[in-house]
Every structure is written in structure tokens, then in C-alpha cells.
Amino acid sequence: MPVIEVVLGDITREDVDAVVTAANESLLGGGGVDGAIHRAAGPRLARAGAALAPCDPGEAVATPAFDLDPPVRHVIHTVGPVWEGGGYGEADVLASCYRRSLEIADELAARRVAFPAIATGVYGFPGDQAAEIAISTIRATPTNVEHVRLVAFDQATYELLASALQRSGR
């Protein structure tokens, strides 16, 4: 079971084997965290993404990390649910994003993985529910990943993730 840490910062600065990006189905790059990761990784990331697109919501695919600083070797692109009120399976899709990303990390033998707060930006998923789903899904997914770093970009998200982690008992 991985050690889960909640940190505040920019995911492009994380010292991990793989960073997860909150992509859209085109895998060409977008705004928010995906834009930041694409800028840091350089234009080859969008070309590699295009070759694997489209990616369904709840799914994940991996590319090299290109110009991201070592030790980061992989970008795992996962597509979150667009929040439409909660009655359209959004929670299951978000859980699948975390689960599939960990499965891909295992295929890559990545031991340290950083996640952003998937779907809580432009896609509109409520941060408190998203934090619970992130923690509970990571806990429930069998994986060889040893360290999961949940990277919040703002204080409010940090606090939601930290309290969800505390409630889950570690």
C-alpha cells in the first residue's frame, strides 16, 4: 500500500517517476495543470498524446516525460469527468482515473507518482468529494507504487485533501 502525502505546490516541480495530468480526450494539452505539464514537457508531449488519442473519461495512457526535469520519466494522461451535477456517474469516472493511473504506473514500474486534483478545476468536480474519492480509491487499489503525492495548487484544495487523508486513518 503506498504512502500517501498531500503537498502544496506545482506538480511540474515534483521529484517523482511519473506525473499524472488531468488531460482532455484529445491529449493535445489544455489549460490548468495539463497546460503547465505540456509547457514543461515541451511540444513532443502533444505529438505523443495525439498518437494515442482519443482517451475516454476514466481511462489513462502514458507517454514519456520529454523535457520535464529528471527523475520524472513518464506522464500519465487521465481524463476526468465533466461535472454535470453528480447524477451521471461522475464519481465512478473519477475513481477510475485514479485506479487506471495506478495500474499504468505499475506497468511502467513507477514507484513514486504525483497526482493533481483531477477534475476539480475547469471540469467542476466539487473539491471535497473529489478529495474523498482520491484517497479512498488510492487506498483500495492494489499497486506496487510506494509513494503517492497528491499535489494541491491552492490552499483550499490542500486542506480538503489533508483532512480526507486524516479521516482515512493515516
Residue ranges in contact with ligand ADP by CB under 6 A? 10-12, 22, 31-34, 36, 80, 116-123, 151, 153-154, 157
Asked if the bond preceding 71 is cis, omega within 30° of 0, the reply is yes
Shortest distance, CB of residue 39 to ligand ADP, whole angstroms? Answer: 9
The edge-to-edge listing of strands for the beta sheet with 60-64 is 3-8, 147-152, 112-115, 18-23, 74-79, 60-64
Shortest distance, CB of residue 155 to ligand ADP, whole angstroms? Answer: 11
| Catalytic annotation, pick one of 10, 17, 34, 154 | 34
Shortest distance, CB of residue 170 to ligand ADP, whole angstroms? Answer: 22
User: Which C-beta is closer to ligand ADP: that of 120 or that of 143?
Assistant: 120
User: Which C-beta is closer to ligand ADP: that of 22 or that of 65?
Assistant: 22
- Cα distance between residue 85 and residue 94, in whole Å: 14
Active site residue 34: yes
User: Which C-beta is closer to ligand ADP: that of 1 or that of 16?
Assistant: 16
The crossing angle, in degrees rounded to 10, of helices 32-41 and 44-52 is 120
Q: Please tell me the chain's helix, strand, coil percentages from 3-state DSSP, rounded to the nearest 5.
A: 40, 20, 40
Shortest distance, CB of residue 81 to ligand ADP, whole angstroms? Answer: 9
- Cα distance between residue 68 and residue 66, in whole Å: 6
User: Which C-beta is closer to ligand ADP: that of 1 or that of 69?
Assistant: 69
Cell of 122: 475547469
Catalytic residue IDs: 34
